[in-house]
A and B are shown apart, each in its own frame.
Chain A
Amino acid sequence: MTPLVEMKDISISFGGVHAVEDVSVDLYPGEVVALLGHNGAGKSTLIKILSGAYKRDAGEIRIRGEAATIANPRDAKSYGIETIYQTLALADNVDAAANLFLGREIMTPWGTLDDGAMEAETRKVMGRLNPNFKRFKEPVRALSGGQRQSVAIARALLFNAKILIMDEPTAALGPQETAQVADLTQQLKGEDLGIFLISHDIDDVFELADRLAVMKNGKLVGSAKVTDVTKDEVLGMIILGKCPPGATPGPGAASAEELAGILP
């Protein structure tokens, strides 16, 4: 089976700092791949390369086996890549409908914005995601954290995403809303979407993901099926860069000598 996404030997640096160095990850349809690592390990940067926010210095991205050109967020969206950013990336001063359709507005035959049609569509999507949501006329700024999150998720799902990137999707949510996101993730997997999940929460990762990839200092420590490793081993990967036997080591895996230097 061809992977939905293949990112090969991706590198990017900012002013001499290698934020991401020779990282390779892939993603199959109906699969959730978690990206783990410390703050500053390069997870978000890697994912922003896929979503078009950053341009890679080196490496290759293949979508369904074909080389993809992703120079900006518009390109990424044309490949069916949708992103839910950690910061949500909502335009705070316009309403939910304007946010959902930002950059892809529905127009009337006269070339003007069809706000009615957009609001109707928004009501439909939000009705599925968050039936309690009623504040369609208010700017997104006025909404609660959970409501803003629903808007961000609705925006990603509205245009039939094939590849979904979720950067800390539950960071701002309460337990109930977190459970909702988990349900949604399962449902989307069933619809054959490929999902990249960035998370700090190991429990979340073991519950939702099929595979995981760990990054440290911009390099890939290793990747593994969640069933082949334990939570402690994954913590070892994140903190020490120590690749356990159940995982495939990457260029960032610490060598035996390095580990000997750290461990007593």
Chain B
Amino acid sequence: MATPPPNPLRRFLTATEIDTRMLGMIGALIAIWISLHIASGGVFLTPRNLWNLSVQASSIAVMSTGMVLIIVTRHIDLSAGSVLGFTAMMMGVMQAEWLPGIIGYDNGMTWVIALVFGMGIGALIGAFHGYIIAYMGVPAFIVTLGGLLAWRGAAWWVTSGRTVAPMDETFRLFGGGTMGSIGAFWTWVVAGVISLAILVSLILARRQRSRFGFPKRPIWAELFLALAGCGIAFGAAAIANAYPWPRRVTERYAEAQGIVIPEGGLHYVHGFAVPVLIALGVGVVMTLIATRTKFGRYVFAIGGNPEAADLAGIDTRMVTLKIFALMGILCAIGAAISTARLNAATNAQGTLDELYVIAAAVIGGTSLGGGVGTIMGAMIGALVMQSLQSGMVLMGVDTPLQSMVVGAVLVFAVWLDTLYRKGKA
């Protein structure tokens, strides 16, 4: 007797191989967006707000990708915000105070040196944490709790609490804003490149399956995935391109460039912001690291069963050290984005960021039990967190109440994770 045909939704999910958890998260994001849109009286789902949202979420999204790997291996990093603060301060001092004396102001290399310097420091701090955790056996919770205090103190100590400003002209592009966006033409190009990459990867995956004679997805499922991927890329581009420059900025720009403003006014649009592109780039690279490299495979194996990983001959301590070093680098990238956005480095920068980063990873489906989590999920998690926050700002909710809601959502997400795991077991 044939098995009864499964319901259409289940068949769709099996054919497309979309993770139910991921689908649930995207559904939750859409639900949150629509409710916030209605609750805020129709100002949430506007190009301007969505554009701002994407920029504000970038720094947390970048760091959350590293937090996934840390939580997957059953560790935690409470020091992310403080490491961000310290590396931000170091990058700020480097470009605003040290480099001008050596290579002069407005040197084209300033931003490169500052960024590489910050990422190097981040890597060292992370490796240091990782060394204490992996080789000296101190729990990550304690090491990074110490780091939370120590690096915040260090950030203050660099300039005795003085705020460092302004940042290098090119470096500031990391922060987005009108100038830190790539404009209409390049936004379409980026959307085209992303779509092409999606198509190529789908075709390659299909060819790989043919090569080994594995079951393939039905053609309609492949088409659906291709269309959905390209649709999202071009949809996002269209939204980013629907957010025009403010009139004042356009006029100033026209004046500076010597452009005569034609009748009916000049129309420039923002397009994708640089920090968003950085976050997307980090997401792609981290996904490749997590799913296509030995290192990533070991991270998940350790998370599933640390002893088994050890017995399989994996150098689990070195992997742990590398995970934390990677987190340090990502904190520095997050620091570059937030420093550039503020156009200043302050010793309070990134305060409480660790909690948002952890929340983003957990809301994005990273299981605190270890072994489970995706980079894309964490980035969507960051978007959910930022949506809630900016939605509440639009609705005029008081700041203390915002924190309470965010806290409650975090606990709710972990509860859902617990339910999900019980159902699976």
Contacts and interface: CB of A to CB of B under 8 A. Distances in A.
A46 B305 CA distance: 23
A148 B263 CA distance: 74
A92 B311 CA distance: 14
Contacts of A72: 313
B300 A94 contact: yes
Interface stretch (A23-31, A99-107, A193-201): A99-107
B304 A113 contact: no
A136 B126 CA distance: 36
Contact of B313 (A77, A94, A119, A139): A77
A-side interface size class: 20 to 34
Contacts of A246: none
Interface residues on B, range: 20 to 34
A226 B300 CA distance: 44
A89 interface: yes
B212 A103 contact: no
Nearest to A83: B311
B312 interface: yes
Contacts of A112: 288, 292-293
A81 to B, nearest CB: 11
A160 to B, nearest CB: 16
Contacts of A85: 311
Interface in A103-119: 103-105, 107, 111-113, 116-117, 119
Contact of A103 (B209, B303, B304, B312): B312
A73 B297 CA distance: 18
A8 interface: no
A74 B311 CA distance: 8
A91 B292 contact: no
Interface string A175-199: 0000000000000000000000000
Residue in B291, B292, B372 with the greatest tally of chain A CB atoms within 10 Å:
B292
B307 interface: yes
Given A105-B297, A112-B293, A91 B311 contact: no
B372 A93 contact: yes
B304 A73 contact: no
A98 B302 CA distance: 12
Contacts, number: 83
Contacts of B292: 112-113
B403 interface: no
B169 interface: no
B422 interface: no
Contact of A89 (B291, B312, B372): B312
A158 interface: no
A51 interface: yes
A87 B308 CA distance: 9
A89 B307 contact: yes
B310 interface: yes
Contact of B311 (A53, A105, A111, A119): A53
Interface in B278-320: 288, 291-294, 297, 300-305, 307-314
A120 interface: yes
B288 to A, nearest CB: 8
A117 B212 contact: yes
A98 B371 CA distance: 13
Nearest to B294: A105
Contacts of A83: 311
Contacts of B248: none
A85 B288 CA distance: 32
A116 B214 contact: yes
Interface in B228-278: none
Given A102-B309, A116-B208, A116-B214, A107 B294 contact: yes
A90 interface: yes
Contacts of A92: 304-305, 308, 371
A93 B303 contact: yes
A119 B212 contact: yes
A107 to B, nearest CB: 7
B212 A94 contact: no
Contacts of A107: 294
A94 B311 contact: no
B294 A116 contact: no
Contacts of B212: 116-117, 119-120
21 contacts: A51-B311, A52-B313, A73-B310, A90-B305, A91-B300, A91-B308, A91-B312, A91-B371, A92-B371, A93-B371, A102-B297, A102-B301, A102-B309, A102-B314, A103-B314, A107-B294, A112-B288, A112-B292, A113-B291, A113-B297, A120-B213
